[in-house]
Structure 1
Amino acid sequence: MGLRQKIIDSDFYRQMVQRRATGPLRAYYDIPAADPDTPVRDVEFVALDLETTGLDPKQDEIVSIGLVIIRRLEVDFSSCQHLLVRPKKELSESSVIVHRIFDTDVEQAPDIEIALAHILPILAGRVLVAHHAPIELGFLGHACKRYFGASLQMPTVDTLVLALRDLHRQGQPMKAGALKLESLRHTHNLPPYRVHNALSDAIAASGLFLAQIAKRDPKGELELRRVLR
């Protein structure tokens, strides 16, 4: 299936999902998605990362959301947001070790329904940037379907997928760990960052994305569809 057909199918599916959406998700769908033929310099992106209690959206929960908006291919640091989310179950020791968020940190935090209502207006009309985006899309989609009647459909740039395309185009072998966010940032001469913090990871992904775009087209005239997952 060609990219254009994928876009057509995605638009049709978006329309089908919109009919079932309620509340803030319905308002999200009322704002048109970005035109895939738009030059990337004219597109607004939102880099987003989640910290979760595991990898299964059906069993695990979101405990923090970090995001930052990219305008005119520049990170708008004034838009940075970091939200803690109160899960329904107590946090396990294994998840606390990874993201260092404790039960006491989230006991006064909003639940996921309120957190979604806060971030959906920010996501509306923008393009998602994430590293290994199926995690973010899976958890956000599952939560939206549970609370607002439909899944979340959003045009997405996956920095991991862009890195894979680079490796395939250059004919380079894939080394162990080469596709990790911190490894790719090092490859692009970007500074280290604090891992397993949702906002820090979102900012790190935004920096990698901009480096990947600059490598493809420094003027930003590249059409959005050329970098969508």
Structure 2
Amino acid sequence: MIKRLFQSFHPLEQLEKQRQAECGKGTVASHLKPIFQAPVPPPDTPLETLDLVVLDLETSGLDPETDAILSVGMVEIRQQILSLSSGQHYYLLAADAVKPETAVINHIVPETLAGGMTEQACVEKIIATLAGKVVVAHGAAIEQGFLRRAFQLAPDAPMPLVWIDTLMLERSLSANRGKVNPDLRLCHIREQKGLPPYLAHNALADAVATGELLLVLIREIFAGKTPVLGPLVQRSLKGYA
């Protein structure tokens, strides 16, 4: 009973209540129904029973209100195995949004986006892929902000997606080791974990690199125990455990 009472306050349980309440209003936009219709899994759900999608967005900046999504990379993890064959990589028709200061980082120039898809078409792809799955990102706040705008969610409406943030997972592990101000860049963490170099700032490559890192972090966090969803979500929100 005590365990159940504790779980009722877990962020996943709260998100499920928000999802049900929003669905009960009958005002969910039709394009968002696949996401809102999928129940939020409880905290004790074994990770191997869940499908995960690693998401990376390359953007023209960090402000969802003034910047734009330039490319999207997604790859799935099933039964804790990264499925390279599931990889998706899209460029958006947003040539006017390219900025010199970000182009030198992600190498996305207007010519790259000339044959891209519209944001609406890309949003449809994203929703179809993420619905009913757990979303993984490195520094997830950026992806969350841009998705909220792309989904056209009202400021007070929940986004009933479950997120695991590899940056916050490593921050929690660093805090447990007593490290202050750790380097949380994806490339640095991978190097520290013995993972190979990769093509940074390419949306699909970053998604694959994040997925590989997640699998290493899961083994480190659970240390032989059965991985379950709840602790990963809590660490992703708080940066400690």
Task: Give the paired residue count.
Answer: 225
> Percent identity, aligned pairs only?
31
1:56 aligns with 2:66: no
Aligned residue number for residue 215 of structure 1: 220
Opposite residue 168 of structure 2, the aligned amino acid is: V
Aligned residue number for residue 239 of structure 2: none
RMSD: 2.2
Tell me which of 113, 121, 125 is aligned to 2:128: 121
Q: List aligned pairs for 1:26-105, cutoff 5 A.
A: 26-87=33-94, 89-105=96-112
Q: Deviations over 1:87-113 (max 9, x none)?
A: 273422222212111212212211111
Measured after TM superposition, the shift of residue 217 of structure 1 is 2.8
Q: Is the 8 A contact 1:39 1:220 kept in 2?
A: no
The CA distance in 2 between the partners of 1:63 and 1:3, in whole Å, is 39
TM-score (norm 1): 0.90
The CA distance in 2 between the partners of 1:61 and 1:20, in whole Å, is 27
5+ residue gaps, structure 1: none
Opposite residue 181 of structure 1, the aligned amino acid is: L
TM-score (norm 2): 0.86
1:206 aligns with 2:211: yes
5+ residue gaps, structure 2: 1-5, 237-241
Change (3 A) 1:220 1:42: farther
Tell me which of 23, 27, 32 is aligned to 1:20: 27
Opposite residue 121 of structure 1, the aligned amino acid is: A
Q: Deviations over 1:8-57 (max 9, x none)?
A: 32222223444433233112222223333111122211101000000000
The CA distance in 2 between the partners of 1:142 and 1:114, in whole Å, is 15
Aligned residue number for residue 197 of structure 2: 192
Opposite residue 169 of structure 1, the aligned amino acid is: N
Q: Is the 8 A contact 1:145 1:151 kept in 2?
A: no
Change (3 A) 1:90 1:138: closer
Q: Deviations over 1:188-219 (max 9, x none)?
A: 10001111100000001001100000112355
